Amino acid sequence: MMNRRNLIQTAACAAATAWMGLPQTALAADEAPDALVKRLSVDVLEALRADKSIKAGDMNKIVALVDKTILPHVNFRRMTAAAVGPAWRRATPEQQQRLQDEFKILLVRTYSGALSQVTDQTISVKPLRAAPEDKDVLVRTEIHGRGDPIQLDYRLEKTPGEGAGWRIYNLNVLGVWLVETYRTQFAQQINAKGVDGLIEALVERNKANAAAANVTSAR
């Protein structure tokens, strides 16, 4: 049985595999969400096999690539609000922005660290169960590699206006939703020290992750 930390690491590795192939241009608004996930999965596997720096664990390059390619296509505000829970509505605009910024750094570092674990995995996308007019959908996939297949499900929303397209706001690994897993951790911090306490904890966690990455890169 996986513990929460292992589930998050597995989610990060799988998400990194699927998301790293995002193009720099805006995605077509009429592209089906399952087709999008399948296309990105193929693109990322090819990119990972071809990029020697990423395979060698160049964290600075990985972080820069994740920041450039992933962030424009993920609804981090919605993810952060869901992870923080009811306390999000009580937070000031300044606190909300700091929570979003620190949560984004945490996820980017987690995904970046997981990239070095991506080797010979393949991804299969299951048939989409959604109506053409749906704006919120579930895309179910499986990661195939060593051992048993890993269930990986994506929640995506259709965004309107300029740059319209599908944006990921949550993912499920082996029956556990990533946002809900973080919500449990965050609730403990909020109950103990409030929203400011959670912000401080995220800042310290991100500093520790960055320091660890720098030590690893220096070796």
Q: For 190-200, what is each residue's pLDDT tens digit?
A: 999 999 999 99
- Give all domains of the chain, ordered by start, each with its CATH number: 4-218 (3.10.450.710)
63: nearest Cα among 4, 110, 103: 110
Q: 173: alpha, beta or left, given left = phi > 0 and alpha = psi -120 to 50?
A: beta
- Is 75 within 8 Å of 157 (Cβ atoms)? yes
Q: Is a pLDDT exceeding 80 seen at residue 173? A: no
Across 83-97, 106-120, 159-173, the highest mean pLDDT is recorded for 83-97
Q: For 33-79, what is each residue's pLDDT tens digit?
A: 898 778 777 766 676 677 777 667 676 766 666 666 666 678 889 99
- Is 122 within 8 Å of 144 (Cβ atoms)? yes
Average pLDDT over residues 100-124: 74
Average pLDDT over residues 169-176: 83
Lowest pLDDT segment from 9-13, 51-55, 157-161, 164-168? 9-13
